Amino acid sequence: MTSIKVSGETASSEILIGEHISNFKKHLPDGKTIVITDKNVNKLYGRYWIDLPSIVIGRGEGNKTLETAQLIINKLLELNADRSTFILGIGGGIVCDVAGFTASIFMRGLRFGFISTTLLSQVDASIGGKNGVNFKGFKNIVGVFNQPEFVICDPTVLKTLERKEISNGLAEIVKHALIADAEMFGFLEKNSNNLLDLDESVVQKLVTRSVEIKSGIVNRDE
């Protein structure tokens, strides 16, 4: 497992690359944790958090809304969440965005972390503390900057993704290589098929380097 730290003005985030999804509980703080995930991820991996209260939302961009945030807030109240509750978003960029946004506004802010389950989310969307929802056709127009305490990036969960989802993440990795690392770009040229086939060593190497590049940008911006 590789650990990379992203530092912000008010908080920092630890990106854990190669940590298996089944080990997430050792990274949780003491006290109550509530999981926010989507229907597909819950179906695939819900056995790992069956003993934790969970809130399951729909899949897709259409669920990245204030209405979904309101639904989650209602569920948090039903589950007696308080200021000590920890929120764990498990899913791709949409789940992490909505979970981070809702955690940041509920009771003026709860602690939260992510388990990122898509390649795009692992290399970009879940890193940097941007949490938001769409409104009236405007993407991410309502949101906050707030760092998750940790992001777990498990390469094994990518095996359930459709090829299109892998390609979306690959495009972001290519962008990182083009702007910051010629050697990484050369490695990509030689190993793009291995990445699409989800060779774990190739995935972990490229996710790690992408996170290093993205975290460097975030650290400078902060």
Which pLDDT belongs to residue 84? 98
Q: Is position 98 within any domain?
A: yes
- Cβ neighbours around 2 below 10 Å, total: 15
Partnered with residue 152 across adjacent β-strands are: 16, 115
CATH number at residue 146: 3.40.50.1970
Could you tell me the pTM of the whole model?
0.94
Q: Which string of DSSP letters, residue by residue, matches 66-78?
A: HHHHHHHHHHHHH
Q: Is position 9 within any domain?
A: yes
Q: Is position 211 within any domain?
A: no
The rounded distance, in Å, linking the Cα atoms of 49 and 53 is: 8
Token digits of residue 158: 């990518």
What does pLDDT average to over the chain? 94
Q: Is position 106 within any domain?
A: yes
Which pLDDT belongs to residue 217? 79
The rounded distance, in Å, linking the Cα atoms of 96 and 86 is: 14
Q: Is position 164 within any domain?
A: no
Q: Is position 169 within any domain?
A: no
Q: What is the pLDDT of residues 111-146, one digit of tens each?
A: 999 999 999 999 998 888 899 999 999 999 999 999
Which pLDDT belongs to residue 203? 93
Range of the domain at 56: 2-159
Which pLDDT belongs to residue 221? 59
Specify the DSSP class assigned to residue 121.
I
Which pLDDT belongs to residue 220? 67
Q: What is the pLDDT of residues 24-79, one digit of tens each?
A: 999 999 999 999 999 999 999 999 999 999 999 999 999 999 999 999 999 999 99
Q: Is position 184 within any domain?
A: no
Q: What is the pLDDT of residues 192-210, one digit of tens each?
A: 889 888 998 999 999 999 9
Q: Is position 193 within any domain?
A: no
In the predicted structure, residue 222 carries a pLDDT above the cut 60? no
Cα dihedral sign for 6, 199, 1, 166?
A: positive
How many folded domains does the chain comprise? 1
